[in-house]
Amino acid sequence: MRSRAPAPSEPAQGTEPDATRGPALVAGPEPPRPRGAGRGARRKGRASAWRWLGVLPFFAYTTLFLLVPTIELIVKSFEGPKGSFSTANVSRLFSGEYLSAYATSVELSAITAAAGGLFGLFIAYGAVHGRLPAFIRPLLSTFSGVAANFAGIPLAFAFIATLGPTGVVTSLLNRAGLHIYNHGFTIFGMAGLSLTYIYFQFPLMILIISPTLEGLRAEWREAAQNLGATPAQYWRHVGLPLILPGLLGSTVLLFGNAFSAYATPYALTAGYINLVPVQIGAILQGNVTVPNPQLGDALAFGMIVIIAVAVTLYVLLQRRAARWLP
Amino acid sequence: MAAVSVAATAPSARGARSRRRPSVWAVFWLVLGALYFLVPLYSVAQFSLEVGPGRYGFHWYAQIFADPQFSSSFLLSLRLALETMAISMVLMVPTVYWVHLKIPRLRPTMDMIAILPFVVPPVALVVGLSGVFDVFPALLSSSQILALMYVILALPFTYRSLDAGMRAIDVKTLTEAAQSVGSSWWRTLLFVIVPNVRSAMLGAMFLTLAIVMGEYTISSLLLYNTFAVYIYYIGNTEAYQAAALAIISFLLTWVAMGGIFLVSRFTGGRQQVQIGATR
């Protein structure tokens, strides 16, 4: 029944180019393909016009549903109440509650990217180089896929059930004599929100850092040991420099991941913690009075700028990483 | 949101390794990670099963399943997921095929466009949507707009998956072989290329399912009662039923991820587990 066509180059496991390259969002340059020889120039010209027609639907679609919204919000960010050009909205971002919203968002994203990133790194390193049984790796990556995708509203509920005022872990700790809610902890505050974010941050780190760690060959460590290096020296001079670009790039990606989160903080803190996405949501829903509606556009524009910087860093670091490790 | 990929296959021959004892630190971090993963699930599962003090049962689940709002919101999300998959595949499979075959130098541009949905978070997309409504006012009054936006949310994963799938086969040779026996473009695409990238397509579709079934930001801000919006609404009124819904939603994530895992097992390819949840 299967109409499988002859595939002359079905790759063997592990030889697929992408499999070892790691978490690159951007593929490297394609090696130039030899062009069909002996084609007439006229035919080539006509063919190239047809060629572009083939990608027209894709470009039309992304223009309409991605580019138009983006341009729209950027233009509106610089629009005054009467439609004229104005930098009032954007400059308002640098003061008062809006500035503090950015500060809180950046703080939360940085903390959870660092903590979740380190946690994920240790787990991934253990799984790759810790001599664990072979079945651990595929299991870990599937579980990480689930955990990293289990987010939003249900995740918030799961953490309220765990560390909320009547949560399972809270009652356990109470019985052990540790009343965390008397010591200023609440799941609806910064600490609780950070713990919740880490739930999807560390599995993401496991998934994106594993290929980099796989590139760290055991032979290099043995070679360093043979030359008399201590473990600390190996990490200082060999291991860390090798994985650093991949590590930083992945952390930056985790940062962007937390920064754009909306559903989880909205469900968990009901907007009490002043984060940029939640602010934008409140403006869109008309829950807060703002000087003019374009402020929401300006806030979103600020988010795009920050994430664009993060993603650009990620891409650059990833390219750097790809140079050293396979 | 983020993009990611990790091969989900067993590591290559490590016979000698497994005989050595596992590192203590590796076990320690793995156990800690497992606890972090399992404790919230255990807690919310306990909540969802607790009918009275010390009594457990599926009471709250039964109530949820009997709620007409549950089925209507669930079916809306499911319909949107299927529509998103259909639009994504119809749009992306021919495009990626064409780029690989005819315009390989366009690939860096495609890579750039495929990153853009990360740079513009969902909440920002909603802010800018009025521009699209100016072009097509009819979209404003229909939940169809959600599926159209979800195609954008899924784009990075769909594109990356298909791009990797097409790279793994020799698109050019396959096409020339098909055409030399008289196959048309569409026949070649449908009967030669698609069967060869079906695991990449299935992987992208399962991930799309996970994205759409959990999507809250866009649907809540545009005031549509999708599954995630329903879960939030229940959470404000019924804590125990909300816990049951969290478990149902978790199982849905498992279905999607398990699907990707199985696709990779049965097709033998190195399929990638990917992350695309909307937070």
Each residue's pLDDT tens digit, B196-253: 998 889 988 988 998 899 899 999 999 999 999 999 999 988 889 999 999 999 999 8
Say whether pLDDT at A308 is over 80: yes
Query: Per-residue confidence at B262, pLDDT binned at 50, 70, 90?
Result: confident
Least confident range of A42-56, A192-206, A294-308, B104-118: A42-56
**Domain boundaries, position A276:** 88-324
Nearest chain A residue to B157, by CA: A25
- The alpha-carbon gap from B54 to the nearest alpha carbon of chain A, in Å, equals 14
- What percent of chain A shows pLDDT beyond 70? 83
Say whether pLDDT at A47 is over 90: no
Say whether pLDDT at B5 is over 50: no
Q: What Cα–Cα distance (Å) separates residue A215 from each residue in A26, A109, A179?
A: 19, 28, 45
Q: Give the integer Cα–Cα distance in Å for A285 and A281.
A: 6
Q: Give the integer Cα–Cα distance in Å for B5 and B202.
A: 15
**The pLDDT value given to residue B19:** 54
Kindly report, residue by residue over B165-193, the tens digit of the pLDDT.
999 888 999 999 999 998 888 899 999 99
How many domains, in total, are found in chain A? 1
B132 reaches A (C-beta below 8 A) = yes
Which residues of B are less than 8 Å from A17 in CB distance?
167
Contact call for B44 and A10, based on CB within 8 A: no
Contact B43, A168 (CB under 8 A): yes
Nearest chain B residue to A70, by CA: B128
Which residues of A are less than 8 Å from B29 in CB distance?
119, 122-123, 125-126
Query: Per-residue confidence at A13, pLDDT binned at 50, 70, 90?
Result: very low
Say whether pLDDT at A7 is over 50: no
Which residues of A are less than 8 Å from B102 in CB distance?
51, 54
Which residues of A are less than 8 Å from B254 in CB distance?
146
On the CB side of A283, how many CA atoms lie within 13 Å of its CA? 23
Task: Tell which wins on pLDDT, B53 or B44.
Answer: B44
Say whether pLDDT at B78 is over 90: yes
Query: Per-residue confidence at B86, pLDDT binned at 50, 70, 90?
Result: very high
Say whether pLDDT at A198 is over 70: yes
Mutate to test the interface with B, among A64, A65, A162, A217 (most CBs of B within 10 A): A65
Contact call for B8 and A168, based on CB within 8 A: no
Least confident range of A120-124, A211-215, A318-322, B216-220: A318-322
Strand, helix or coil at A318?
helix
Say whether pLDDT at A37 is over 50: no
Query: Per-residue confidence at B14, pLDDT binned at 50, 70, 90?
Result: very low
B121 reaches A (C-beta below 8 A) = yes
Q: Give the integer Cα–Cα distance in Å for B114 and A227.
A: 46
- The alpha-carbon gap from B267 to the nearest alpha carbon of chain A, in Å, equals 11
Q: Give the integer Cα–Cα distance in Å for B20 and B28.
A: 17
Q: Cβ atoms within 10 A of the Cβ of B236, count?
A: 10
The DSSP bridge partners found for residue B50 are B56
Return the closest-CA partner of residue B264 out of A208, A246, A145: A145
B91 reaches A (C-beta below 8 A) = yes
B86-107: average pLDDT: 94
Any domain includes A293: yes
Mean pLDDT of chain A: 82
Any domain includes A106: yes
Nearest chain A residue to B208, by CA: A149
Any domain includes A10: no
Any domain includes A14: no
Contact call for A168 and B231, based on CB within 8 A: no
Q: How many residues does chain B have?
A: 279
Task: Pick B95's closest partner by Cβ from A3, A7, A58.
Answer: A58
**The pLDDT value given to residue A126:** 93
B247-276: average pLDDT: 74
Mutate to test the interface with A, among B50, B123, B163 (most CBs of A within 10 A): B123
Query: Per-residue confidence at B130, pLDDT binned at 50, 70, 90?
Result: confident
Which residues of B are less than 8 Å from A29 in CB distance?
108
**The pLDDT value given to residue B185:** 85
Phi and psi (nearest 5°) for A32?
A: -60, 135
Burial class, B105, CB count within 10 angstroms (exposed 0-12 / middle 13-18 / buried 19+): exposed
Any domain includes A11: no
Any domain includes A114: yes
Kindly report, residue by residue over A244-262, the tens digit of the pLDDT.
888 988 899 899 999 999 9
Which residues of B are less than 8 Å from A72 in CB distance?
128-132
Q: Return the structure tokens found at B167.
A: 């790279």
Q: What HEC string does B114-135 produce?
A: HHHHHHCCHHHHHHHCHHHHHH
B56 reaches A (C-beta below 8 A) = no
Which residues of A are less than 8 Å from B250 in CB distance?
146, 150, 154, 158
Contact call for B279 and A211, based on CB within 8 A: no
Which residues of B are less than 8 Å from A125 in CB distance?
26, 29
- The alpha-carbon gap from A284 to the nearest alpha carbon of chain B, in Å, equals 7
- What percent of chain A shows pLDDT beyond 90? 39
Task: Tell which wins on pLDDT, A27 or B159.
Answer: B159
**The pLDDT value given to residue B279:** 53
Contact call for B270 and A16, based on CB within 8 A: yes
Any domain includes A39: no
CATH of the domain at A274: 1.10.3720.10
Nearest chain A residue to B236, by CA: A267
Which residues of B are less than 8 Å from A300 in CB distance?
121, 123-124, 127-128
Any domain includes A28: no
B140-156: average pLDDT: 90
Q: What HEC string does chain B produce?
A: CCCCCEECCCCCCCHHHHHCCCCHHHHHHHHHHHHHHHHHHHHHHHHHHEEECCEECCHHHHHHHHCHHHHHHHHHHHHHHHHHHHHHHHHHHHHHHHHHHCCHHHHHHHHHHHHHHHHCCHHHHHHHCHHHHHHCHHHHHCCHHHHHHHHHHHHHHHHHHHHHHHHHCCHHHHHHHHHHCCCCHHHHHHHHHHHHCHHHHHHHHHHHHHHHHHCCHHHHHCCCCCHHHHHHHHHHHCHHHHHHHHHHHHHHHHHHHHHHHHHHHHHCCCCEECCCCCC
How many contacts does A have with B, using Cβ atoms within 8 A? 404
Mean pLDDT of chain B: 85
Query: Per-residue confidence at A25, pLDDT binned at 50, 70, 90?
Result: very low
